[in-house]
Structure formats: C-alpha cells, structure tokens
Chain A
Amino acid sequence: MNDLIASHGTLIAEGFLGTLRVVAIGFVAGAMAGAALGAIACGPAGWARMLVRCYVELIRNTPFLVQASLLFALFGVAGVRVSTMALGIAAVALYTAAYMAEIVRGAFRALPAGQSDAARALGLGRMARLSKVILPQLLPAVIPGAANLVATVTKESAFLAALSVAELTFAGQVAISQTFRVFEIWAIVGALYLVLILALLGTAARLERGLVWAQAQQQRQQQRK
C-alpha cells in the first residue's frame, strides 16, 4: 500500500482535485441556472413554465451517463473541440440545474399562499415582496435539498470516467492500467469518495436539523403570544 501511495499518490490526488473541480464548478453553475429555472417554474409565463417543465422532466428521467454521452457526441458531431473536463463540468451543470429547479419549485409551493397575499396587502412592491418575504423563507427550505444534491452529483460524476474526464475514477483506471493493483486502488478511490460524500451528507443532515429546530423555535414563540 505504501509503495502504491508513493508511486501513484500524486495521480490519485490530482484525480481527487479533478472531481472537486468538476463538482464545484458544475454544481455552482448548475445551481444558479437551476434557481433561475425554478423562478420561471413558479412564475406567471405559461409557455416559459412549460419549457422549464420539459427540460426538468427530460433530465430527471434519463440516466446521467446517457446525458453526458449525448453532450460529448453533440460537440463531436458539430466538430467543436472542447476539453473533456469542460464538457464534464457542463454535463454536471445541466444535470444540477434540472434537480435544483425542482427543489426551488418544491420549496416555493410549500410556502403558504397567505405570505404573498399578506405582503401585497401591506403594499410591498414586487421586489420587496421577493427579497423581504419570499426569499428569506425559501432559502432555509432550499439549502438542505441543495446539500443533498451536491452529494448525489458527486456520486454521479464518477460516470464521467467513461468519457475520459480527468477525475478521481478515471485516475483510478489509469493507476490500475499501470500497476494492476486492482483491489487496493479501488479501495483507496472508494475511501476518498466516501469521506467526501459522507461529509456532504453530514452537512445536509445538520442543516436539515438546524432548520427543523429553527421552525420549532418559531412555533413556540408564536404559541407563547
């Protein structure tokens, strides 16, 4: 094991950084796009809502590997040369956006309708309604879902090795082709994923608990009044 780490530790570490890069950039870009899509899905424009709905359903009802393969093939057929890393990040972003839009839509629908009505009755403008009433209640509901989504995306990103994206699983494949130490390398790679994903899931669970606690606190205060 020690000699393996000495000879291929750097390769694996670079792969780990590759996974972090794919997930971090892909997720942040996807989450922002997803928030925008989610806002459209809760908005008034019927045709735009329909388009978002179609996109979300298409992504949610096909496997990630197929989506990523399709993206890579489209760029190949068009003859546009982009690095596999950039395409991998784009695939993660497209995937994240659809699931994020769904999380935002779910959180929005869970808001009591009276909130928006009450804000309007108070004479708040569109922007003030959004920034002072809707968003502060939306965010705590979105964040745990988003944290869970990062963990899912990290797991899915391992599929990108099949498309030669320089991430952790791909680094494992390269290391195995050079050393034939199959079990040890997958065990090391697996342990790295495990630490990363469990940390993300742990954060998600803590955020969820914090949220539940805050809500209970709020209710208790309301009851006291």
Chain B
Amino acid sequence: MDLATRVAATLPLLLDGLWTTLVICAAGMVLAVAMAVPLVAARRSRHRWIAVLAIGWVGLIRGLPIVILVFLMYFGLPAVFDLGRVSAFWVGVVALGLNGGAFVSEILRAAIARVPPGQWEAAAALGLSRGAVWRLVVIPQMLPVALPALVGEATFIVKASPVLSLITVVDLTRRFQQVAMQTFDPLAPMLAAALLYFIVLFALSRLAAMLEARLAPQGLAA
C-alpha cells in the first residue's frame, strides 16, 4: 500500500484520540477563562500585595514550560502530599487551564486597557453603578477586541495538549504512537495525526483571523 492509502486507513483509528484531545482542550479553555477573571480582578485590586501576587503568578506560568508544569503536578505534587495516583486526565485539564488562564488574563487586561478612559468617565457621570459600568459599557467594548485573541489562545492550548501524552493520557498524540506500535508503521499514523491536528488548528486560526477582520473596526470606534 502506498503512503496516502495507509494514512487514510489509519485515520479512523485515531478519532477517539482526537475526541479526547478536543474534550481536554475545551475543558482547559473554559477553566482558563474562569481562572483569568479573578486574575484580572486581582491585578486591578487596590491592595498592592494582591496585585503583586497575581503578577507573580502570571510570571511563574509564563516562565515555566508546560511540560514541567504537568510533571510537577502529576508526579511531583502527589509524591509530596502522598496523594497516591491522581487522574492524568484531570491533571491535564487543570494544567492546561492554569497555563491558559495566565495568558487569557493578559488578553483581557489588554482589551480592558483599550477601552478609552472617557468611556469610564462618561459612565460614571451618568451615575451608572459599578456593575452597570462593566455590563453596559466596558464588556461590550472589550469583547470584540478580546474574542479573536481568545480563539488564538485556544490554538495555543491545542498545540500544548500533546504534553498529556507524556502522562499516559490517550490523546491524539499517544493514540498515534499506539497505532504505530501495533501496525509496525511509524509514518502513516503520525502523518494522519498531524493532518487531524492541522485541520483543527487551521480552522481555529482562520476563525480568529475572521473574527479579527470583522470585529476590529467597531472595537476601535469612539
């Protein structure tokens, strides 16, 4: 069989791995956004030490390879706290979420900074409450700026996700390695997996580019 036929033949064997990758990345992205909101709030806190803590956390995450973060969480922490075996799947989700959360918080912070100061002052002059300022004025203006970058961040999470194959999660990367072992064919399963990753990532980056083109002009108005 030639290579193209072999690649096509292995594709169906990889679909469950692809599904695991997608589920973990989606859960990681949700967790990342959930982590980012308190981080942004902490950076804006009036108490300096809270802001410093948040800055330190973001710096820590930005400076640590995801591989090391995952190894620390999956092998290191259970050894220290005597937790026994922890779920590799959930460690994976939490690690991708922690990692993504730091970057998403930077995205949201930059988007908030793009809202002109006059908007805040006008909202205050209108007597809007703090909650209403965010809900009616700031969030509608920051979302168009943040959304393309958030989709971009999702591509980073997908690209980081093969790290889970290193801690026994059967994601797309580990699945193609298994299939390669079973079929004694090192290339075809790998090329098939690369193709699947490409399809997912290319679709996401197109989406990010499209959102950026469509949303940017309104975001810059005022």
Question: Which A residues are closer than 8 A to B by beta carbons?
Answer: 57-58, 60-67, 69-70, 73-74, 76-77, 154-159, 161-162, 169, 172, 176, 182-183, 186-187, 189-190, 193-195, 197-198, 201
A66 touches B76 (CB 8 A): no
**Chain B 49-91 interface mask (CB, 8 Å, partner A; 1/0):** 0000000000110111111110110011101100000000000
Interface residues of B in 115-161 (CB under 8 A from A): 155, 158-161
Question: Which residue on chain A has the smallest CB distance to residue B205?
Answer: A61
B202 touches A61 (CB 8 A): yes
Question: In whole angstroms, what is the CA distance A154 to B67 when docked?
Answer: 11
Name which of B64, B65, B166 has the most chain A CB atoms within 10 A of its CB: B65
Give how many B residues have a beta carbon under 8 Å from the other chain's beta carbons. Answer: 38
Q: Which of A61, A74, A159 contacts B187 (CB 8 A)?
A: A74
A66 touches B197 (CB 8 A): yes
Question: Which B residues are closer than 8 A to A by beta carbons?
Answer: 59-60, 62-69, 71-72, 75-77, 79-80, 155, 158-163, 165-166, 173, 186-187, 190-191, 193-194, 197-198, 201-202, 205
- Distance (Å) between the CB of B208 and the closest chain A CB? 12
Question: In whole angstroms, what is the CA distance A58 to B194 when docked?
Answer: 9
| Known contacts A70-B194, A73-B190, then 6 further A-B pairs from the complex at CB < 8 Å, ordered by chain A residue | A60-B205, A61-B198, A64-B159, A66-B190, A183-B72, A193-B63
A187 touches B187 (CB 8 A): no
- Distance (Å) between the CB of A54 and the closest chain B CB? 11
A63 touches B161 (CB 8 A): yes
B186 touches A76 (CB 8 A): yes
- SS class of chain B's interface: helix, strand, loop or mixed? helix
Question: In whole angstroms, what is the CA distance A186 to B166 when docked?
Answer: 15
Which residues of A sit under 8 angstroms from B202, Cβ to Cβ? 57, 61
B76 touches A187 (CB 8 A): yes
Which residues of B sit under 8 angstroms from A62, Cβ to Cβ? 159, 194, 197-198, 201
Which residues of A sit under 8 angstroms from B160, Cβ to Cβ? 63
Which residues of A sit under 8 angstroms from B190, Cβ to Cβ? 66, 69-70, 73
Which residues of A sit under 8 angstroms from B72, Cβ to Cβ? 183, 186-187, 190
Name which of A65, A66, A201 has the most chain B CB atoms within 10 A of its CB: A66
Name which of A60, A63, A65, A67 has the most chain B CB atoms within 10 A of its CB: A63
A-B contact pairs, 16 of them (CB 8 A): A61-B197, A62-B159, A63-B159, A63-B173, A66-B193, A67-B194, A70-B190, A155-B65, A158-B67, A169-B65, A172-B71, A183-B77, A187-B72, A193-B68, A194-B64, A201-B62
Name which of A73, A155, A157 has the most chain B CB atoms within 10 A of its CB: A155
Which residues of B sit under 8 angstroms from A189, Cβ to Cβ? 68
